[in-house]
Amino acid sequence: MAVARADAPVMLAAEAELAIVASSRVIQELADDDTPHYGVSTGFGALATKHIPTDRRTALQHSLIRSHAAGSGPEVEREVVRALMLLRLATLATGRTGVRLETAQAYAGLLNAGITPVVHEYGSLGCSGDLAPLAHCALVLTGEGFVTDALGVRRPAAEALAAAGLTPVALREKEGLALINGTDGMLGQLLLAAADLRRLLRTADLTAAMSVEALLGTDAVFAADLQALRPHPGQAASAANLRAILAGSPIMASHRDPHACTRVQDAYSLRCAPQVHGAARDTLAHAEAVAGRELAAAVDNPVVTVDGRVESNGNFHGAPVGYVLDFLAIAVADLASMAERRTDRLLDVARSHGLPPFLSHDAGVDSGYMIAQYTQAAIVSELKRLAAPASVDSIPSSAMQEDHVSMGWSAARKLRRALDGLTRVLAIELLTAARALDLRAPLAPAPATGAVVARLRNTVAGPGPDRYLAPEIDAAVALVADGNALTAAESVTGPLH
């Protein structure tokens, strides 16, 4: 996160430099060998049986990078490119790839200079790793292609390298292959997504608590002993958050009398929030475990083993990462779906327990938040489509040599879009629940939810006649995306789980 989002500098440790030098010697010893060695003296993919003469082997590496830098479509986000570059550098630092020390140092130099290669949306099948995205980065290392510099200006790579005092790299045997054979793009996006989803899961607990309170629901179902009957760790964490956020609520206290309250049970979207939010947490924990193992991996083909062998392998296949990226998209869609149902309940006079239709000021003249829920519904419908797994698809490539691919990059791209959608859905729930809480006056909300409403009111006015709504939704989206909604709640509750 520090490198991808905050431009933290990087450097190679001394032990990494020693490991890099040792494995590069192994490759150089093979450079003049007449025995075919994949990636050193042969072509690639379906051309792996093609022997390359000694005097053409460095040209082979440059040709590999130029031909594989074949991406198309919109530019990928800067943080994604920096994440994948860092992860590729981390693999180079293991000493299992055979690159020279100066090549690894040059890669670190790109990151430290804030030079971001232009990488495109389409091009990776997730096998052999994220070839096209990584090839666009390697191309820049050689002084070709295009970049965005530290000031955000798009310019030719050679020009940006010169301005930063960096020298283009002339690739040697196997180096081109080592720079592109990895799962770094999909893994980088998984790690970024996991960090964002951790925040959004706590935010979902917050917005759910606000809706429960505004709908005069009960927090009794979130009791620790009830939750312990089904001992999923994510469920326990979510319920604990809901209890903390709703603690001390005068609105809750106002309807605790069983003789005055005629409702026996709340709707599922209220009562079952810990179960759904908790399942998403446990799914994320599994995805993070997979990511942790992938972070410990040295993914390349061929690989230089610890005892100095150069061996072909299939470790570049993105299935482990692709599966969990798809799994997270399912959880994100379900979180958003439940949040939308709570929002709809707040707007429906038949189910909102005394709130005005659509939370409007003058129903009929005013539509209130009617269409905000339409926006939520449109997003949730999109999220359901994005939940269809990419990893079950496979399109053979390279003349059937690469006949089963992971589509992990595609899974990562759609998860990023899904997280943006979840952010917007939760923001609309927050906006709606905040207005509903205001309309419960003179009853006051809990200290934590009240702090969130007060923070929202710094940028969005309270109930009143209809106003231009899109900017208010955007303000709520910003409050969720930058974590300020959570910060307001946690100023009362302390850190949430």
CB of 129 within 8 A of CB of 87?
Answer: no
CB of 212 within 8 A of CB of 266?
Answer: yes
Domain span holding position 260: 189-493
Residues 172 and 262 in one domain: no
pLDDT tens, residue by residue, 356-408 = 999 999 999 999 999 999 999 999 999 999 999 999 999 888 888 888 899 99
- Rounded to whole angstroms, the Cα distance separating 160 from 144 reads 10
pLDDT of residue 128: 78
pLDDT of residue 63: 92
Residue type, 25: R
Residues 229 and 91 in one domain: no
DSSP state of 48: T
pLDDT of residue 71: 97
Domain stop point among 156, 182, 208? 182
Q: Which of 114-118, 127-131, 269-273 has the lowest mean pLDDT?
A: 127-131
- Domain tally, the chain: 2
CB of 97 within 8 A of CB of 91?
Answer: yes
pLDDT of residue 371: 98
pLDDT of residue 28: 87
Is the predicted pLDDT of residue 434 greater than 70, yes or no? yes
CATH number of 45's domain:
1.10.275.10
**Average of pLDDT values for 95-104?**
96
**Average of pLDDT values for 328-333?**
98
- Rounded to whole angstroms, the Cα distance separating 141 from 336 reads 41
DSSP state of 17: H
Domain stop point among 149, 182, 215? 182
Active-site annotation holder among 38, 122, 369, 374: 38
How do strand 72-75 and strand 120-122 relate by DSSP bridges?
Answer: antiparallel
Residues 144 and 195 in one domain: no
Residue with tokens 């005013």: 366
pLDDT tens, residue by residue, 403-427 = 889 999 999 999 999 999 999 999 9
CB of 409 within 8 A of CB of 125?
Answer: yes
Residues 443 and 486 in one domain: yes
369 is catalytic: no
pLDDT of residue 363: 96
Q: Give the gyration radius of the chain's Cα atoms.
A: 27
Residues 172 and 194 in one domain: no
Domain stop point among 182, 203, 229? 182
Residues 404 and 298 in one domain: yes
Residues 163 and 138 in one domain: yes
Helix axes 447-456 and 408-439, enclosed angle (nearest 10): 100
Handedness of CA 403, 404, 408, 411 (dihedral sign): positive
Residues 367 and 450 in one domain: yes
**Average of pLDDT values for 198-216?**
98
Residues 406 and 489 in one domain: yes
CB of 157 within 8 A of CB of 147?
Answer: yes
Which residues, at least 6 apart from 9, have a Cβ–Cβ distance to it below 8 Å? 111, 112
Assign 467 a pLDDT band (cuts: 50, 70, 90).
very high
Residues 197 and 172 in one domain: no
Residues 173 and 204 in one domain: no
Residues 174 and 217 in one domain: no
CATH number of 303's domain:
1.20.200.10
220 alpha-carbon distance from chain centroid = 34
- Rounded to whole angstroms, the Cα distance separating 376 from 340 reads 6
Residue type, 366: D
Q: C-alpha dihedral over 447, 452, 456, 461, to 10 degrees? A: -30
